[in-house]
Amino acid sequence: MGIEEKLPSGVLLTTVEGVAGYMRKASFWPATFGLACCAIEMMTSGGPKYDLARFGMEVFRASPRQADLMIVAGRVSQKMAPVLRQIYDQMPEPKWVLAMGVCASSGGMFNNYAIVQGVDHVVPVDMYLPGCPPRPEMLIDAILKLHDQVQQTKLGPNRAREVEERENAALRALPTSEMRGLLR
């Protein structure tokens, strides 16, 4: 049925979104945003033993304007939060944020005056990675899971609709402390 049957062999059909997502995930450039202990593990992931270059990600961009992914590696202090937001704003769309480690995800053990209790208070986070600090293998796993999200990213009006749906779903969501039932 349709155009597929008339094509010569060796040609695949897909959507523009699919191609764009495939290209994006295959050359995914992180910005260097090392803050604390996790930054050392992030650098280790780029080093010889774990070799993030296997996934086309060895180019850690110093300029946020050339980066797609911000790996927030470490505890975000109240003093650092505005800087972090500025760097996020400077990154071009589309962009993703990975909260690496428990401090960036939720404040972790530093539940005090100095630390922002989760970087999602400042920027939208696409992937949370627990651990203190997470091993390089965990970081690579988180990035590969994020690759799936990137592959599925929609374009144009589809993207706008998706963003709105997710926004509404988040607003309707029940706060964690009010959830009942099985503690899972």
Partner 1 sequence: MTTDHDIYASSTETTEGRVFTVSGQDWDQIAEGLAEDDSERVVVNMGPQHPSTHGVLRLILELEGETVTEARCGIGYLHTGIEKNMEFRSWVQGVTFCTRMDYLSPFFNEATYCLGIERLLDIEDQVPEKANVMRVLLMELNRISSHLVAIATGGMEIGALTVMTIGFRERELVLDLFELITGLRMNHAFIRPGGVAQDLPPGALDEIRAFIALMRKRLPEYEALCNANPIFKARLVDVGHLDLEGCVALGLTGPVLRSTGYPWDLRKTQPYCGYETYDFDVQTWDTADSYGRFRIRLAEMWESLKIVEQAAERLAGLEGAPVMVADKKIAWPSQLAIGSDGMGNSLDHIRHIMGESMEALIHHFKLVTEGFRVPAGQAYVPVEGPRGELGAHVVSDGGTRPYRVHFRDPSFTNLQATSVMSEGGMVADVIVAIASIDPVMGGVDR
Partner 2 sequence: MTEDKSPDQRALEESPENAPASLDPEVRAVGVRRGMFGTRGTGDTSGYGGLVQPVVYPGLARRPLEGWHEEVAAALDAALATAGAPDAVEGVVVHRGELTFHVRRDGLPAVARALRDDPSLRFELLSGVSGVHHPDDAGRELHVVHHLLSMTWNRRVRLEVAVPDADPHLPSVVATYPTADWHERETYDMFGVVFDGHPSLTRILMPDDWPGHPQRKDYPLGGIPVEYKGGSVPPPDQRRSYS
> Max CA-CA distance within the chain?
66
Please give the residue ranges that form the binding site for partner 2 (CB under 8 A): 78-79, 107, 111-114, 117, 175-177, 179-181, 183-184
Cβ atoms of residues 38 and 100 within 8 Å: yes
DSSP 4: G
Residue 184 binding partner per list partner 1, partner 2, none, with a CB distance cut-off of 5 to 8 Å that depends on partner kind: partner 2
Instruction: Decide whether 23 or 132 has the Cβ nearer to partner 1.
Output: 132
**Distance in Å, CB of 51 to partner 1, minimum:** 10
Task: Say if residues 134 and 142 touch (Cβ distance below 8 Å).
Answer: yes
Q: How many CB atoms lie within 10 A of CB 80?
A: 19
Q: Residue 64's closest CA among 98, 29, 26, 109?
A: 29
Nearest approach in angstroms of CB 43 to partner 1 is 7
Name the residue nearer to partner 1 (CB basis): 10 or 157: 157
Task: Please tell me whether 37 is known to bind a ligand.
Answer: yes
Q: How far is the CB of 49 from partner 1 (least distance, A)?
A: 5
